[in-house]
């Protein structure tokens, strides 16, 4: 009898392990939405409320012709945009930051095609299970117009598949894994306003060898598509661009806390640079434990936008000092970002400073979706119709759109970013942008 108890106990452990992967499902918080439109200031808003109706023309027949049909909004219906961002767990700042970005965008542009915009905020939990759950919840929402998400590439892979199968446009403000927009693996309705890590990895490699003048490096990833691919791009570029040597390409697992095995193995070759573009919790632990590893005393540490957040600074403490981090360049041209966007961000988020680096990308994603919707939407007897395939095509045809992050042009696999990478260093407990020079 006892034997069976034990086996059933093991079974339960396995079940728990599975359940654990789906942890932390979040209720969709909707922080402060007393939309107080500041219309006049925004360069992008097509202010005239009387005239902002879609410029598209068509009839109900177009909806039948469209493979995925139309989004149909009766007069007065809200237009629902879903978000699937990580708003719980260790990486919550990454998604919260983008979510506030979308809220700011709505504050400046509360109506799209004459319909009030409503958000359906879901949590991508920064992983495939959360991404799947969030995407399924959103595609089953009636009349959802488009999805802004996901935060993490790991969540983006299944989410893009699910939304594309339903013909729902999904635009990510912060997925950076190359595979998402690679020729073979791109999902037709997926696009992003964040940079592709082919660019970020190359920039970091260039910074390490040209600016820091280092010749040996090691990488650690955590098995997520983001970290895995970014570390690989960095390694390849480091070898190709500057003839550097990669001494080890290690991997850890999510939730791991003791990294002595990995670090000792890396320390055996004493590389000059250690690159671990992973996420907040593990990133902070590796930062601390690398500092305490005997063979890594002189090794310079670096990471990427996955843990470019004050939470990581807090968690890593003094050991963060001197750390190099790559990420999107937030040194935007023009005054809109500093004068209009940031005050609204602080107001809506109740925060002093942005908590991550993709809020502007989320803002641009919202506005590009709005532009595309208004281009293809048409009214017929008071009902607004938005054909889904046409919406996708209009979005992908975006060219030279002037957003906060630059001039955005989408290619056929959904890369829309005006990608500019900068490297920051942690100096006196704060991020300081140091490269490239203005």
Footprint on this chain of other proteins (rule: CB under 8 A): 1-3, 5-6, 8-10, 12-13, 16-17, 20, 23-24, 26, 88-90, 92-93, 223, 249-253, 255-262, 264-265, 267-268, 280-281, 284-285, 288, 292-295, 311, 314-318
CB of 234 to other proteins, least distance (A): 15
Closest to other proteins by CB, 3 or 213: 3
Cβ distance to other proteins smaller for residue 1 or 333: 1
Contact 146, 387 (CB under 8 A): no
Q: How far is the CB of 232 from other proteins (least distance, A)?
A: 12
- What lies within 8 Å, CB to CB, of 76 at 6+ separation is none
Contacts of 28 (CB under 8 A, 6+ apart): 87, 120, 121, 122, 123
DSSP strands (E only) in 139-287:
146-149, 169-172, 190-192, 216-221, 245-251, 273-275
In the complex, what is the shortest distance from the CB of residue 91 to other proteins, in angstroms, rounded to a whole number? 9
Tell me how far apart the alpha carbons of residues 238 and 59 are, in angstroms, rounded to a whole number: 55
- How many whole angstroms separate alpha carbon 47 and alpha carbon 60? 28
| Beta carbon nearer to other proteins, 13 or 397 | 13
Minimum CB separation of residue 292 from other proteins in Å reads 6
C-alpha 147/C-alpha 134 separation (Å) is 10
Q: Quick one: 260 or 427, whose CB is closer to other proteins?
A: 260
Question: CA-CA distance, 115 to 93, in Å (whole number)?
Answer: 30
Least distance to other proteins, CB of residue 3, Å:
7
Nearer to other proteins, 94 or 423 (CB): 94
To other proteins, the closest distance from the beta carbon of 238 in angstroms equals 17
**215 or 265: whose CB is closer to other proteins?**
265
Hey, is 139 helix, strand or coil? helix
DSSP 64-97: HHSTT-EEEE-TTPPEEEEEEE--SSTTHHHHHH
CA angle 396, 308, 248 (to 5 degrees): 95
Which of 76, 105, 162, 114 shows the shortest CA–CA distance to 373?
A: 114
Rounded to whole angstroms, how far apart are CA atoms 308 and 324? 10
Which residue, among 206, 203, 207, 236, has the nearest Cα to 219 in the 3D structure?
236
38 vs 268 by CB, closer to other proteins: 268
Measure the CA–CA gap between 33 and 132, rounded to whole angstroms: 27
* Shortest distance in whole angstroms from residue 224 CB to other proteins: 12
* Minimum CB distance to other proteins, residue 90 (Å): 4
Q: Indicate the residue among 96 and 413 with the shorter CB distance to other proteins.
A: 96
């Amino acid at each position: 009898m006892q034997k069976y108890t034990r086996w059933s106990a093991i079974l339960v452990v396995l079940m728990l392990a599975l359940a654990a992967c789906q942890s932390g499902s979040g209720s969709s918080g909707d922080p402060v939405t007393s939309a107080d439109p500041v219309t006049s200031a925004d360069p992008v808003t097509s202010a005239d409320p009387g005239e902002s109706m879609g410029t598209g023309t068509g009839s109900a027949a177009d909806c039948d012709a469209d493979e995925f049909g139309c989004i149909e909004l009766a007069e007065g219906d809200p237009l629902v945009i879903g978000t699937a961002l990580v708003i719980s767990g260790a990486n919550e700042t990454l998604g919260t930051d983008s979510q506030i970005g979308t809220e700011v965008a709505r504050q400046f542009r509360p109506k799209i095609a004459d319909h009030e915009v409503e958000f359906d905020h879901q949590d991508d939990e920064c992983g495939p299970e959360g991404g799947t759950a969030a995407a399924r919840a959103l595609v089953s929402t009636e009349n959802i117009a488009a999805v802004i998400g996901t935060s993490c590439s790991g969540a983006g892979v299944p989410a893009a598949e699910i939304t594309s199968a339903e013909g729902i446009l999904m635009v990510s403000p912060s997925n950076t894994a190359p595979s998402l927009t690679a020729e073979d693996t791109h999902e037709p309705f997926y696009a992003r306003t964040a940079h592709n890590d082919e660019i970020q990895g190359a920039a970091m490699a260039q910074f390490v060898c040209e600016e820091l003048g280092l010749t040996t490096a090691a990488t650690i990833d955590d098995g997520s598509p983001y970290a895995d691919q970014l570390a690989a791009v960095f390694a390849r570029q480091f070898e190709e661009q500057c003839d550097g040597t990669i001494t080890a390409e290690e991997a850890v697992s999510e939730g791991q806390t003791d990294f002595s095995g990995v670090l000792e193995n890396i320390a055996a070759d004493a590389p000059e640079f250690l690159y671990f573009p992973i996420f907040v919790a593990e990133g902070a632990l590796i930062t601390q434990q690398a500092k305490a590893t005997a063979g890594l005393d002189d090794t310079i540490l670096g990471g990427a936008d996955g843990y470019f957040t004050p939470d990581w600074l807090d968690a890593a403490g003094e050991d963060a000092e001197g750390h190099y981090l790559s990420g999107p360049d937030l040194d935007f041209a023009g005054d809109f970002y500093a004068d209009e966007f940031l005050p609204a961000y602080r107001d809506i988020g109740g925060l002093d400073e942005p908590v991550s680096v993709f809020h502007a990308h989320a803002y641009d994603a919202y506005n590009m979706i709005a532009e595309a919707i208004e281009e293809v939407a048409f009214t017929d007897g008071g009902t607004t119709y938005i054909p889904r395939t046409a919406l996708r095509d209009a979005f992908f045809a975006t060219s030279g759109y002037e957003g906060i992050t630059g001039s955005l042009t989408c290619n056929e696999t959904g890369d829309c970013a005006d990608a500019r990478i900068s490297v920051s260093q942690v100096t006196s407990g704060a991020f300081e942008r140091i490269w490239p020079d203005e």
